[in-house]
Amino acid sequence: MSGSILVFIEQASGEPQKSGLVALEAARQIQAKWGNGSISTLCLGAGAKGAAEAMLQYGVAKALYSEEASFSQYRAIAYEAAFLKGMESVGATVGIAAATTTGKDFLPRCGVQLDAGQASDIIAVNDDGSLRRPMYAGDVLADVEITSEKKLVTVRTSAFAAAEPTATSGTSEELNGVAVGENAGEITSFEASGGDRPELTEADIVVSGGRALQSEENFEKYIFPLADALGAAVGASRAAVDSGYAPNDWQVGQTGKIVAPNLYVAVGISGAIQHLAGMKDSKTIVAINKDPEAPIYEVADFGLVADLYEAVPELTEKVKAAKAG
Amino acid sequence: MKILVPVKRVPDYEAKIRVNSEKNGIVTDGIKWIVNPFDEIAVEEAIKIRDGGGAEEVVVVGIGPEDSVTQLRYGMAMGADRGILVKHDGYVDSDLASRVLAEVYKKGEYGLIIMGKQSIDSDANQTSQLLAERLNLPQACFASKVELSDGKAIVTREVDGGLETIAVSTPCVISTDLRLNEPRYASLPGIMKAKKKPMEELTLADLGVEDSTKVRILRMNPPAERSAGRKVEDVAALLAALQNEAKVL
C-alpha cells in the first residue's frame, strides 16, 4: 500500500481558502485511484490553528498547522521546509498543492529533496490513475504518469470543485521543529491589487477587458461598472496588461490566471490563443468586439458586434434595471 | 560576475498546435521555432544588468537537438556573450533540465541565474524552482522588477492578490514574468556578431548527468472543441439570451 497524501491548504485569518479545498478534492480522487492510505493537510501562518481545526470536518487524518513567525509571510524556502517536515511526520509519499502562485512557487523545490517528479496544473484524474494536464496553452491535453516513488502534484483551481465536508474523524496537530534556512529571504513590502470585488479565480462571473479599452481610465469607466452591476471579478487580456491598463494579476490566459466561471464577458478582446487558454472552459462566454472576424467569436456562445463604448454602458444599465426589477 | 540564462526552443506562440496521429507528440511540420518568450525577457534583463555594470558576462545555455543552436544564437544576437548547447535528442522533463542546468552552473563561476518562469510548450513552471533547490540557492520567481545591490537581489514578484517585494541573497535564481521588461529585437549587426561568438557543445555524459526523467507522457489528446455560438443583434438581445437561454442572470 502506498503512503499517505499531504495537501497544502492556503488559509487567511483562520479560514481555509477555496483553492485548498479544490486541491483536497483532487487529492480524494487521486487517493481513490492510487490507493493511498489517508489524506492529511497542512496550514501555515497566523490563524493556521483555526484553519486546521476547520479542516477536520473534511475527514482528514491529521490537520497539521504551524503559526510560527517564520511562516507569517509566504517565503518559498520556509514553506518548503514545513511541507517536507509535514510529509515526513504523516508518512506521505504524495504531496499536493493548488496551482496558485504559492503552490507553484514552493512545491517544485520539495521534489529535489524527495527525489519526486511533479505533474503541474492537473485538470483531471483519469480512470487509469494517470493525470491530465494542459500543455501548449491547452492545445494539447497530456495524460502523464509520475514514475518516481514519491510524487508531487499541483492542481488547476478552475478544474475541480471544492471538496465537501464529510465526517469528522482526525485530529489537529502542531507541526514543530521546522528548521528554516537563513537564505529564505525577507519580504520587504506587499502592494495589494485587490479591492472589494470577488477573487478572479473564484468568481462566478468575470468581466475582462482587452486592448480596445485603450487606457486604465477606460477600464475604470467601462469595465468596473459592468463588473459591479454583475457582481463580477475583473480580468484583462495580456495585451491590456502589457499596455499598462490593468495589473498583471488580473491577466487571464496561459501565463496568467486560468478561470472557468459560469459567465465570462470578454470586452474588446480579440481572442489570442494564449487568452483563450485561460477562459475557454467557462460555462457561458459573451464577446463584445467591433471586429466581426475576431477569433474570440469562435468560442463565444453569444457575440455582440458593437462599439464597446456604447454597448457596455447600455448593458450595464440594463443589467442594473433587470436586477432591480 | 557572470549571469547564466537558460534559453529554450519552443514553437511560435501564434502557431496552432495539433496532436499527431500517434498521439505521442505534436505535428511539427510548418512550425516556426522561437526562443521561449519568458526566456527572451530573461536574456534582456541579464543584458541590462551587464550593461549597467552589474555583471561581466551573460551566458545563454540550451538543452536540446542541434537545431537549438538557432535560439542560442538569437540570444547572442540580442547581446549575450557566449552560448552553451547541451546536446540531447530525447525527451527532457523539468527534473532532467534542472539536473543539467545545475551541472552547467557548477562548471562556471556564476553569480546569478535568470530564466523564464515557464516554457510555453510544456507549461510546467518548475525548472527554476528545482534548480534553485538543487543548488541550495534562494529563489525569486515571477519577477516584474529586479534590483541588485550589496550581495542582494531585491525582486518584485507578481503574486495572487498583488505585488510582493522580496530581498534574497545572491547568488540566486530569478524567474521572469511578463512585465519585467520589453525584450529588444536582435539587430542585423547583432545577428552578424552573434555568428562569431563562442558556442560550446556539451553532452549529458560530459556533465555526468544521467538521462532519466520522472514524469512520463503516456499520450496526448486534443482538447474538446468548443463550438461557436451565435451573434446577437443588440444589447437587449444579449441580455435576453443571458436571462432566458444561459440563465446566468
pLDDT at position A25: 98
- Contact between A260 and A285 (Cβ < 8 Å): no
CB contact under 8 A, B95 and A242: no
pLDDT of residue B161: 85
Query: Which cell numbers hold the place of B38?
Result: 519568458
Partner-chain residue, chosen from A116, A121, A249, that has the shortest CB–CB distance to B162: A249
For residues B82 and B72, the answer to whether their CB atoms sit within 8 Å is: no
Centre a 10 Å sphere on the Cβ of residue B148 and count the other Cβ atoms it contains.
19
State pLDDT tens for residues A238-294. 999 999 999 888 999 998 999 999 999 999 999 999 999 999 999 999 999 999 999
Return residues 14-43 of A near B (CB < 8 Å): none
pLDDT tens for each residue of chain B, 249 residues long: 999 999 999 999 888 899 999 999 999 999 999 999 999 999 999 999 999 999 999 999 999 999 999 999 999 999 999 999 999 999 999 999 999 999 999 999 999 999 999 999 999 999 999 999 999 999 999 999 999 998 999 999 999 888 999 999 999 999 999 889 999 999 999 999 999 999 999 999 999 999 999 999 999 999 988 888 999 999 999 999 999 999 988
Q: Which homologous superfamily is B2-245 in?
A: HUPs (3.40.50.620)
Beta bridge partner(s), residue B97: none
The reply to whether B221 touches chain A by the CB within 8 Å rule is yes
Q: Which of 2.60.40.420, 3.40.30.10, 3.30.1050.10, 3.40.50.620 would CATH assign to domain A4-184?
A: 3.40.50.620
What are the Cα distances from residue A121, in Å, to A43, B93, B126, B158? Answer: 20, 15, 11, 18
Q: Determine the pLDDT at residue A287.
A: 98
What distance in Å separates the CA atoms of residue B154 and residue A122, rounded to the nearest whole number? 32
Predicted confidence at residue A53, as pLDDT, reads 97
The DSSP bridge partners found for residue A153 are A96, A119
pLDDT of residue A194: 65
Domains in chain B: boundaries: 2-245
Of A138, A80, A86, A132, the closest CA to residue A105 belongs to: A80
Query: A69 touching B, CB under 8 A?
Result: no
Given a contact cutoff of 8 angstroms between Cβ atoms, the answer to whether B153 and B174 are in contact is yes
Kindly determine whether residue A109 and residue B121, on different chains, have CB atoms separated by under 8 Å: no
Query: Which pLDDT score, from 0 to 100, does residue A244 have?
Result: 92
Q: Could you tell me where in chain A the CATH 3.40.50.620 domains are found?
A: 4-184
The CATH code of domain A200-324 reads: 3.40.50.1220
Which B-chain residues 128-187 have CB contacts (< 8 A) with chain A? 129-130, 132-134, 136-142, 144, 154, 157-169, 177-179
Flag whether residue B234 sits within 8 Å of chain A, measured between CB atoms.
yes
Which chain A residues contact residue B174 at CB under 8 A? Answer: none
Tell me the C-alpha to C-alpha distance, in Å, between residue A53 and each of A42, A171, A173, A229: 11, 8, 9, 36
Residues 6 or more apart whose Cβ sits within 8 Å of residue A302: A284, A285, A286, A287, B229, B230, B231, B232, B238, B241, B242, B246
A193, A254, A272: residue with CB nearest B161: A193
Residue A202: partners with Cβ closer than 8 Å, 6 or more residues away: A18, A19, A157, A233
| B231 interfaces chain A, CB cutoff of 8 Å | yes
CA distance A214 to A122: 35
A298 touches chain B (CB under 8 A): yes
User: ipTM, 2 decimals?
Assistant: 0.95
Q: How high is the pLDDT of residue B173?
A: 98
Q: What is the model's pLDDT at position A167? A: 85
Residues 29-58 of B with CB under 8 A from A: 38
Tell which residue, B48, B56, B18, B13, has the closest CA to residue B34.
Answer: B13
Q: Which residues of A touch B129 (CB under 8 A)?
A: 76, 105-109
Q: Would you state the pLDDT for residue B248?
A: 87
Interchain contact, B178 vs A251, CB within 8 Å: yes
| Distance (Å) from the alpha carbon of B196 to chain A's nearest alpha carbon | 33
C-alpha cell at B232: 446577437
- Amino acid B228: pLDDT: 81
Distance, CA of A162 to CA of B102 (rounded, Å): 38
- Coil, helix or strand for A8? strand
Rounded Cα distance between A172 and A96, Å, is: 19
Residue environment code for A207-222, b if the CB has 16+ CB neighbours within 10 A, otherwise e: bbbbbbbbeeebbeeb
Is the N-terminal amide bond of A313 cis, ω within 30° of 0? no
> Contact A253/A275 with Cβ under 8 angstroms?
yes
CA–CA dist A183, A193 (Å, integer):
28
Please give the pLDDT value at position A192: 86
Residue A180 and residue A238 in contact, taking contact as beta carbons nearer than 8 Å: no
C-alpha cell at A84: 517536507
Which portions of chain A are predicted below pLDDT 50? 1
Q: Per DSSP, what are the bridge partners of residue A304?
A: A288, B232
Q: A120, B239: Cβ pair inside 8 Å?
A: no
